[in-house]
Chains A and B, each alone.
Chain A
Amino acid sequence: MINLALEVGKTATPEATMFWILAPLAIIAALGMLLVKKAVHSAILMAWVMITLAIFYIAQGALFLGIVQVVVYTGAVMMLFLFILMLVGVDSADSLKETIKGLRPIAILAFIGFGGLIVSLIGRATIGHPSIGLDTANANGNVPALAELLFSKYVWAFEVVSALLITAALGAMVLAHNHRVTAKPTQRDLSILRFRTGSLANAAGLPNPGVYALHNAVDVPALLPDGSAAPTSISAMLEARGDVIDSSPFQLGQAEDVEGEDK
């Protein structure tokens, strides 16, 4: 146990400094990812963990992998996560109350048990085994060495994985494809529908935002002849979000006022 502590505590080099600053941060970020309520916060914390890992890769001599981690994981995968979060409901917050009885205590126990087991196993495996380092392997540069290994020893796995990528892309397309069950209504169909409703109030189409108002931004409602806002001219989503701007100050004044301003 003492040896373990001594070996773990070797902190001379700059790498060690970097490690001891970033590693706790990464772990705290991971824990936070576990514990925060909003899903978007989880995604951001996840991105932080990924960047930290990229730094670790570069520090350990895996230059290519570190860049790929940033580009693919943090860039593509996390962005994908965020897109889907937006689609699914960015407001949906998990209540922290646990519905399955007894799951939380078991989870804490499992955490301690699992973590302890793996940590002790790793300790037993590595204590007494010095690390060789990648200086000789990376003699010609990390990327050529990696390429040499990839296309000679692991070429079969490489081919299979590329097939997997194609399959995944196809799968995503199939799953996201929205097959229409009815025919898409044409302009003529929509026009007929417009005249078949109960009242002909909207037969000419809904008013655009900003009509008879000074600004025609999307969030400025159109004005009715009596000066009040037309509710149908703003998207319902904006209204639900409360992003509608009150258009009464934008009301057009008398004609002589306008002319006065023009001079």
Chain B
Amino acid sequence: MNSANYLYVAALLFTIGAIGVVVRRNAIVVFMCIELMLNAANLAFVTFARINGNLDGQVMAFFTMVVAACEVVVGLAIIVTIYRSRRSASVDDASLLKR
């Protein structure tokens, strides 16, 4: 089994997540795509830990998970606040900075 296959999967997941951020309009779905990108990165880290034979990659993945959790908490709180004031969860409605 070639460990690099996991890396290709991670790359694909990352790309899908990146495109998802751009394409989707619902703020929460955008956020989920961001989480997908983080997870793909985690997969890459773990795979490299296996390839290199030491656990540094796993420790990095661990920290990434913690940071992702914090980010989800705060991000969703922000989305809720915006929803409360604007009654809309679409990212396109927050376009006051347009020219």
Contacts and interface: CB of A to CB of B under 8 A. Distances in A.
B70 A39 contact: no
A69 B35 CA distance: 12
B9 A27 contact: yes
Interface string A123-153: 1001101011110111000100110011001
B58 A11 contact: no
Contacts, number: 232
Contact of B65 (A68, A84, A104, A136): A68
A10 B3 CA distance: 10
B25 to A, nearest CB: 5
Nearest to B32: A46
B94 interface: no
A127 B3 CA distance: 10
Give the dominant DSSP class at B's interface.
helix
Contacts of A12: 1
A150 B66 contact: no
Contacts of B16: 27, 30-31, 33-34, 111
A93 B86 CA distance: 17
Contacts of A43: 32
Given A110-B19, A115-B11, A168 B59 contact: no
Interface residues of B, number: 69
Interface string A1-20: 00000011011110110010
B80 A53 contact: no
A154 interface: yes
A69 B85 CA distance: 34
Interface in B58-72: 58-59, 61-63, 65-72
Interface of A: 7-8, 10-13, 15-16, 19, 23, 26-27, 30-31, 33-34, 39, 42-43, 46, 49-50, 53, 56-57, 60-62, 64-65, 68-69, 72-73, 76-77, 80-81, 84-85, 87-89, 92, 94, 98-100, 103-104, 107, 110-111, 114-115, 118-119, 122-123, 126-127, 129, 131-134, 136-138, 142, 145-146, 149-150, 153-154, 157-158, 161, 164-165, 167-169, 171-172, 175-176
Interface of B: 1-9, 11-20, 22-26, 28-29, 31-33, 35-36, 39, 42-43, 46-47, 49-56, 58-59, 61-63, 65-74, 76-81, 83, 89-90, 92
